[in-house]
Amino acid sequence: MSIGYPGMVGSHGPRSEPGNLGAGWVGFNFAVAFERPVRVINDAAMQALGSYEGGRMLFLGLGTGLGSALIAENVIIPLELGNLPYRDGGTLGQALGKKGLEKLGKEAWIVAVQEMLAALTSAFVADYVVLGGGNAKKMKGQVTGVRLGTT
């Protein structure tokens, strides 16, 4: 069984309690609870894997916060780009997530996402970018060379 978890994941499962779900994830024995082998992976990394077509792909999940992963030559690298500092003492996750969309309004939020897409694509030397998450559809047609992920 595979579980996509919205937070940091280590070799023994979730490393911190999620900000938008109830507590009890860290240290929970999923294999015993489900009576079968269980692998836990970051949810953005899981969605990225489903959209990967080779090369170096940057995945950004625009949802409650900002999920992120890089896949380079078939190796999945979960990222925590949402924790990066952003303008006015906030974080990139606050700016590009649901709260940022509500605070900025759709048009300004799209501009912020476009700016970060350009910077992150360059920084990670990505061959292509895939957007996922509940707000990704708001970016449809807004950025050349970026596609929406499979859900």
pLDDT digits (tens, 9 = 90+) for 105-132: 999 999 999 999 999 999 999 999 999 9
Percent of the chain with pLDDT over 70: 99
- What local confidence, expressed as pLDDT, does residue 144 receive? 81
As beta bridge partners, residue 34 has none
State the average pLDDT over residues 93-98: 93
Q: How far apart are CA 7 and CA 47, in angstroms?
A: 13
Four-residue CA torsion sign, 137, 40, 68, 76: negative
pLDDT higher than 70, residue 29: yes
Q: Which CATH architecture has domain 53-148?
A: 2-Layer Sandwich (3.30)
List, for residues 136-148, the tens digit of each pLDDT value. 999 888 888 888 8
Beta bridge partners of 75: 72
The overall longest dimension of the chain from CA atoms, in Å, is 48
Supply the mean pLDDT for the chain: 90
Round to the nearest angstrom and report the end-to-end CA distance of the chain: 18
Q: What is the mean pLDDT of residues 10-15?
A: 87
Find out whether 13 and 40 touch, Cβ atoms under 8 Å: yes
Where along the chain do its domains lie? 2-43, 53-148
pLDDT, mean of residues 37-63: 92
Which pLDDT score, from 0 to 100, does residue 151 have?
A: 55
Question: In the predicted model, is pLDDT for residue 16 greater than 90?
Answer: no
